A = this chain, B = another copy of it.
Amino acid sequence: MNKILRIDTKRKEFSYSDPDDRHAILGGRALTSRIVMDEVPPTCHPLSADNKLVIAPGLLSGTTAANSGRLSVGSKSPLTGGIKESNAGGLVSQKLARMGIQAIIIEDKPEEEDYSLIHITKDGVAFLPADDLVGMTNSEVINTLWKRFGEKVGVACIGPAGEQRLTGASIQLADPKGNPGRAAGRGGLGAVMGSKKIKAMVIDDAGCERVKPANKEAFSEVAKKWAKLLTSHPVSGEGLPAFGTAILVNVVNEAGAMPTKNFRTGRFDRAEKISGEMMAELIEKRGGIIKEGCHPGCVIKCSQAYHDKNGDYLTSGFEYETVWAFGAHCLIDDLDAIAEMDRLCDDIGLDTIDAGVAIGMAMEGGLIEWGDKAGAIDLLNKVRTGDPVGKIIGNGAAFTGQALGVDRIPVVKKQALPAYDPRAVKGVGVTYATTPMGADHTAGYGVCQNILKVGGDVDALKKEGNIDVSKNLQVATAVLDAAGLCIFVAFPVLDSEEGFGMIVDMINARYGINLTADDVLAIGINTLETEKAFNRAAGFTKHDDRLPAMFKENLEPHNVTWDFSDDELDSTLSFG
């Protein structure tokens, strides 16, 4: 039987309990959002003792299902002030599932200033002193902990940004190689962990058995088909493994949807220099690793190891959105400089999207020049050291924009827009506006139908059909996030009549239950409804489901603007 692990950071105690009925068949985001709704006062300060940090593996995590090892981290977001689920790879999800832990709920906060290291094993939870870890970068933390606890343990930790409780702070997770390349990046959850004085968590599943599906044979059978489905689709089976997500640089730029110089145009004339093709070429030349999974059990392998000019490891988990944020958004065309910034963010524990968009705000506000890569790197280093300008950047794009008196600040619910211009990929634009998470491409990745033409063909430049694109993707994504599945399984699932059924079948076989496809879709819908309800109780209204006025400007090359009516946007997540 799965259990809930509750950790009281004030009294340094822990306890296990059985999940109550409403949590029984929930996992990942569905469970973190449910628990946050049930237990966190919506109007509390996100850094106060009243907030909680909830960590949950997906419903399929720990099984042999391909790409089922994604972790959900939930809380009231210090960045948006609303509910947050931030989703990450790494080792933790599979291990928690094997330990029979359905969720960890981290509560209260200590009165003293000392940080703890939380050590979770099959025997329980130990609060260990973390004096030696304080101030360390995430690379240093993971290196230290792997030396101490062995190179198999899962690690979730915060860097200097989380210690400073900056609203751009991430929780970083050790990837399979022990680099801090995976992040629960968005929404400032590292600040919540910092407020609870936890520098790192070690999850050690030694002595725990693999997850045994209730219906083992049925599970094996569908899991095999599932793996084959993922590897046989051109995007998840070929494009992503060959070039990583940075394959999108040329694709999105060609589509005229690459936000350039703080969303002034849709094309970056030097995109080629920061493209996935260029990245793959450099990796190959320098002896890096072209394809790598973000968690054990991944068959898509869109991650990589990017080496510097000397052939030494520089960074991994080097995503398209990061390349865009520090690249086209800031008019920086040097992939090595961008890789260095990705590494800095991983080490300092910063969301690369909000950090990159914040650097753009620093350029917009005249703090540094457009394209000044050395200046940008310097600003990130100052987040590490706690310099006041670092506190500005480290609190994200909305904060940096305000600090510098900028009036073109591309955020929704204070969270920075990612790498797809909402005027030229309208399906994603609707997601930015309406997801309870704040601007987030992963909440409903309309790039599928709009640009990649996966799961349908809906004009990216026109309104028509894109409310439905976003709505359906947001529901489906909430299901994937509940299951612990990587978002990229959406490509084959959308293009196959059997894909979604396989997910349903795997959940049923895993738990020995009989959900229908509609039952599983209802998990997604309920999750969205729960998240909306939390946000309403925290003071959000439909006015928060809007893009900022700057998107009324025309966007070249397609001369498009943001033209959805309020009613259209408000209809997106209406399931009544």
A interface residues (Cβ-Cβ under 8 A, vs B) = 41, 43-48, 50, 78, 164-167, 191, 194-195, 387-389, 391-392, 395, 399, 402-409, 537-539, 541, 543-544, 546, 548-550
Nearest CB of B to A118, in Å: 20
> Using Cβ atoms and an 8 Å threshold, which residues of chain B touch A395?
402-403
Judge whether A409 and B539 touch: CB under 8 Å. Answer: no
Q: How far is the CA of A249 from the CA of B530 in the complex (A)?
A: 48
From B48, B404, B406, B550, give the contact of A407 (CB < 8 A).
B48
Nearest CB of B to A534, in Å: 12
Q: How far is the CA of A364 from the CA of B149 in the complex (A)?
A: 37
Nearest CB of B to A34, in Å: 22
User: Residue among A407, A409, A546, A548 with the most chain B CB within 10 A?
Assistant: A407
Judge whether A543 and B43 touch: CB under 8 Å. Answer: yes
From B164, B194, B539, give the contact of A543 (CB < 8 A).
B539
From B43, B195, B403, give the contact of A391 (CB < 8 A).
B403
- Known contacts A392-B403, A395-B403, A403-B392; A44/B195 CB under 8 A: no
From B191, B399, B537, give the contact of A405 (CB < 8 A).
B191
Number of identical monomers bound together in the oligomeric complex: 2
> Using Cβ atoms and an 8 Å threshold, which residues of chain B touch A164?
404-405
Q: How far is the CA of A402 from the CA of B409 in the complex (A)?
A: 18
Judge whether B50 and A167 touch: CB under 8 Å. Answer: no
Residue of B nearest to A79 (CB): B402
Judge whether A165 and B405 touch: CB under 8 Å. Answer: yes
Q: How far is the CA of A550 from the CA of B47 in the complex (A)?
A: 12
> Using Cβ atoms and an 8 Å threshold, which residues of chain B touch A41?
549
Nearest CB of B to A91, in Å: 28
From B43, B399, B543, give the contact of A403 (CB < 8 A).
B399
Residue of B nearest to A109 (CB): B407
Nearest CB of B to A258, in Å: 24
From B48, B403, B539, B549, give the contact of A45 (CB < 8 A).
B549
Q: How far is the CA of A50 from the CA of B549 in the complex (A)?
A: 10
User: Residue among A78, A191, A409, A543 with the most chain B CB within 10 A?
Assistant: A543
Nearest CB of B to A562, in Å: 13
Nearest CB of B to A3, in Å: 30
12 interchain pairs, CB-CB under 8 A: A43-B546, A45-B550, A47-B406, A50-B549, A78-B402, A165-B404, A388-B389, A399-B399, A399-B402, A537-B543, A539-B543, A541-B541
Judge whether A548 and B45 touch: CB under 8 Å. Answer: yes
Q: How far is the CA of A390 from the CA of B339 in the complex (A)?
A: 31
Judge whether A543 and B538 touch: CB under 8 Å. Answer: yes
Q: How far is the CA of A389 from the CA of B549 in the complex (A)?
A: 29
From B46, B48, B387, B405, give the contact of A194 (CB < 8 A).
B405
Residue of B nearest to A167 (CB): B402
Query: Could you list 10 further interchain pairs (A-B, Cβ under 8 angstroms) beyond the known A44-B549, A45-B407?
Result: A45-B408, A47-B407, A50-B549, A78-B402, A164-B404, A167-B402, A391-B392, A399-B399, A399-B402, A539-B541
Nearest CB of B to A23, in Å: 26
Q: How far is the CA of A387 from the CA of B550 in the complex (A)?
A: 28
Q: How far is the CA of A48 from the CA of B539 in the complex (A)?
A: 25
Nearest CB of B to A37, in Å: 16
Q: How far is the CA of A428 from the CA of B65 in the complex (A)?
A: 60
> Using Cβ atoms and an 8 Å threshold, which residues of chain B touch A388?
387-389, 391-392, 403
Judge whether B405 and A47 touch: CB under 8 Å. Answer: yes
From B48, B408, B544, give the contact of A549 (CB < 8 A).
B48
Q: How far is the CA of A145 from the CA of B464 in the complex (A)?
A: 58
> Using Cβ atoms and an 8 Å threshold, which residues of chain B touch A407?
45-48, 195
> Using Cβ atoms and an 8 Å threshold, which residues of chain B touch A399?
399, 402-403
> Using Cβ atoms and an 8 Å threshold, which residues of chain B touch A389?
388
Q: How far is the CA of A516 from the CA of B165 in the complex (A)?
A: 56
> Using Cβ atoms and an 8 Å threshold, which residues of chain B touch A538?
543
Nearest CB of B to A389, in Å: 4
Q: How far is the CA of A407 from the CA of B76 in the complex (A)?
A: 13
> Using Cβ atoms and an 8 Å threshold, which residues of chain B touch A48?
407, 549
> Using Cβ atoms and an 8 Å threshold, which residues of chain B touch A537?
543
> What are the 4 closest A-B residue pairs judged by CB atoms, nearest first?
A165-B405, A539-B543, A388-B389, A47-B407
Judge whether A43 and B549 touch: CB under 8 Å. Answer: yes
> Using Cβ atoms and an 8 Å threshold, which residues of chain B touch A405?
47, 164-166, 191, 194-195
Q: How far is the CA of A528 from the CA of B294 in the complex (A)?
A: 55
Nearest CB of B to A269, in Å: 24
Nearest CB of B to A362, in Å: 10
> Using Cβ atoms and an 8 Å threshold, which residues of chain B touch A541?
539, 541
Q: How far is the CA of A391 from the CA of B400 in the complex (A)?
A: 10
User: Residue among A46, A403, A549 with the most chain B CB within 10 A?
Assistant: A403
Q: How far is the CA of A537 from the CA of B541 in the complex (A)?
A: 10
Residue of B nearest to A546 (CB): B43
Nearest CB of B to A503, in Å: 37
User: Residue among A387, A392, A537, A546 with the most chain B CB within 10 A?
Assistant: A392
Q: How far is the CA of A387 from the CA of B389 in the complex (A)?
A: 8
Nearest CB of B to A532, in Å: 14
